[in-house]
């Protein structure tokens, strides 16, 4: 629909010039309205405004035409032109307001913060399960008065083997296929050399209670149950009267703390070069309570660690008199404890850094 000019037509015959001018003005407004629909910026609108209402606009020509209009028609035609001019100004003003509104809306849409949108999740790190178990075991032993000791991962053959009653060519070395760096240096195969270092550092030969957590290395082909790298925690007590009964009491306490207060332990005779006598320590199965299940191989018992009374040769090698000193040592694999506690079926999961695995043990 073409909007018609709101002109109060006089109640008399329509003159020719009047009719012609009205058509002209209507098409002018129509043309403007079409152009306004395509305007996207205030700048374009201003250009359009000056085209229609500026000094050189079409209205100047129309005013010139007015001079040629007859005297009778002049007032009506003049009024028509003015009214058309006002309509055009009004349309442009309306277009300006609508354009400004659109710009505000666009700004609101693009710049506002929608507080109802879900926030970005922060990736919060947590301790690796191995670190968690180490801390758990450390806490248990610190509570018993032990001190945490650490040592180098590259060790000498002397501290890793010889001082621990494993002389060169000792058949027990076959138990620990080792990663040698040179003839005399290797990646430690257990944390026991930290015990040797601690014994030697203890110049006054005071009684001592230490635990040594750390990474150890063996020449193993990695599979579900073997890893070339794993973590050990060893404990050593040296005193004048530390007995196997003290060792058993300590083991029972630790087993209950780690696997539950209802646990019992049993000691089976075993062999380690650095302890004499040596024992393997089993704990009653925490899944079946000792009745027998697939977890414990239907025996009711699960092997958790090795222990024993410190071999006299180890004491002698470190300069301690076996007639005045005795002690006990125990060693556990941290991965084994984690595997048993959380039912993990592949030791490689600890080292492959799959976040899906690690995240399961967040905050444990
Ligand atoms: Zn069981």
Given a cut of 70, is residue 147 above it in pLDDT? yes
What pLDDT, on a 0 to 100 scale, did the predictor assign at position 176?
Answer: 61
User: In the predicted model, is pLDDT for residue 364 greater than 90?
Assistant: no
Residue 182 has pLDDT above 50, yes or no: yes
Rounded CA separation 66/340 (Å): 105
Place of tokens 């009745």: 291
Backbone angles phi, psi at 333, to 5 degrees: -90, 125
Instruction: Tell me the C-alpha distance between 313 and 281, whole Å.
Output: 23
pLDDT at 326: 97
Report the distance separating Cα 256 and Cα 252, nearest Å: 6
Averaged pLDDT, 67-86: 84
Give the chain's mean pLDDT: 89
CA distance 232 to 189: 10
Would the pLDDT of 13 be above 60?
Answer: no
Alpha carbon of 349 to ligand 1 centroid (Å) = 23
**What is the 278 CA–ligand 1 centroid distance (Å)?**
25
Question: Residue 213 burial by CB count (10 A; 0-12/13-18/19+): exposed, middle or buried?
Answer: buried
Neighbours of ion ligand 1 (CB under 5 A): 285, 287-288, 293, 295-296
Centre of ligand 1 to C-alpha 337, Å, is: 15
Q: Could you tell me which of 40, 59, 42, 62 has the C-alpha nearest to residue 51?
A: 59
Tell me the CA–centroid distance for residue 258 and ligand 1, in Å: 16
pLDDT for res 11: 44
Q: What per-residue confidence (pLDDT) applies to 15?
A: 60
What tens digit of pLDDT does each residue of 323-343 get?
999 999 999 999 999 998 898
Ligand 1 midpoint to CA 284 (Å): 8
Give the confidence band of 142 by pLDDT, cuts at 50, 70, 90: very high
User: Residues of 253-286 as b/e, b for ≥16 C-beta within 10 angstroms?
Assistant: ebbbbbbeeebebebeeeebbbbeebbbbbbbbb
pTM above 0.75, yes or no: no
Residue 180 backbone dihedrals phi, psi, to 5 degrees: -80, 140
Cα 130 to ligand 1 centre (Å): 24
Cα(355) to centroid(ligand 1), Å:
30
pLDDT higher than threshold 50 for residue 31: yes
Kindly give the distance from the C-alpha atom of residue 256 to the centroid of ligand 1, in angstroms, as a whole number: 16
**259 Cα–ligand 1 center, Å:** 13
- Please determine, for residue 197, whether its predicted confidence score (pLDDT) is greater than 70: yes
Region of poorest pLDDT, from 80-84, 243-247, 300-304: 80-84
Rg (CA), the chain: 47
Is the separation of the CB atoms in 325 and 315 below 8 Å? Answer: yes
Q: What is the pLDDT of residues 247-290, one digit of tens each?
A: 999 999 999 999 999 999 999 999 999 999 999 999 999 889 88
Predicted pLDDT of residue 7: 52
Alpha helices by DSSP H, listed for the chain, are: 16-38, 42-53, 58-66, 74-111, 129-143, 157-160, 192-201, 244-259, 312-317, 334-342, 355-358
Kindly give the distance from the C-alpha atom of residue 92 to the centroid of ligand 1, in angstroms, as a whole number.
88
> Which residues, 6 or more positions from 52, have their beta carbon under 8 angstroms from its beta carbon?
28, 32, 58, 59, 88, 92
């Amino acid at each position: 629909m073409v909007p018609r000019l709101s002109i109060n037509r006089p109640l008399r015959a329509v003159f020719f010039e009047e009719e012609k001018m009205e058509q002209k003005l209507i098409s002018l407004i129509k043309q403007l309205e079409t152009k306004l629909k395509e305007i996207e910026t205030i700048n374009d609108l201003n250009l359009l405004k000056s085209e229609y209402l500026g000094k050189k606009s079409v209205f100047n020509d129309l005013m010139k035409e007015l001079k040629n209009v007859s005297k009778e028609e002049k007032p009506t035609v003049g009024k028509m032109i003015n009214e058309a001019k006002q309509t055009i100004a009004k349309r442009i003003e309306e277009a300006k307001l609508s354009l400004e509104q659109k710009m505000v809306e666009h700004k609101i849409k693009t710049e506002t913060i929608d507080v109802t949108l879900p926030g970005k999740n922060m990736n919060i790190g947590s301790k690796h399960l191995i670190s968690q178990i180490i801390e758990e075991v450390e806490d248990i032993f610190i509570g018993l008065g032990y001190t945490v000791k650490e040592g180098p991962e590259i060790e000498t053959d002397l501290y890793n083997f010889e001082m621990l009653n494993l002389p060169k060519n000792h058949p027990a070395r076959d138990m620990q296929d080792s990663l040698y760096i040179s003839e005399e240096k290797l990646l430690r195969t257990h944390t026991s050399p930290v015990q040797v270092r601690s014994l030697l550092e203890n110049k006054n030969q005071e009684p001592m209670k230490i635990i040594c957590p750390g990474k150890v290395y063996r020449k193993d082909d990695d599979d579900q149950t073997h890893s070339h790298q794993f973590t050990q925690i060893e404990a050593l007590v040296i005193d004048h009267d530390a007995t196997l009964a003290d060792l058993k009491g300590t083991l029972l306490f630790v087993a209950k703390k780690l696997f539950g207060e209802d646990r019992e332990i049993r000691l089976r005779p075993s062999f380690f070069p650095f302890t004499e006598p040596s024992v393997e320590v089993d704990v009653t199965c925490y899944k079946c309570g000792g009745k027998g299940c697939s977890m414990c191989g239907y025996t009711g018992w699960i092997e958790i660690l090795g222990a024993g009374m410190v071999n006299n040769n180890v004491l002698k090698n470190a300069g301690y008199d076996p007639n005045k000193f005795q002690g006990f040592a125990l060693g556990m694999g941290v991965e084994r404890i984690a595997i048993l506690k959380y039912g993990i079926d592949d030791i490689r999961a600890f080292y492959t850094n799959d976040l899906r695995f690690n995240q399961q043990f967040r905050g444990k």
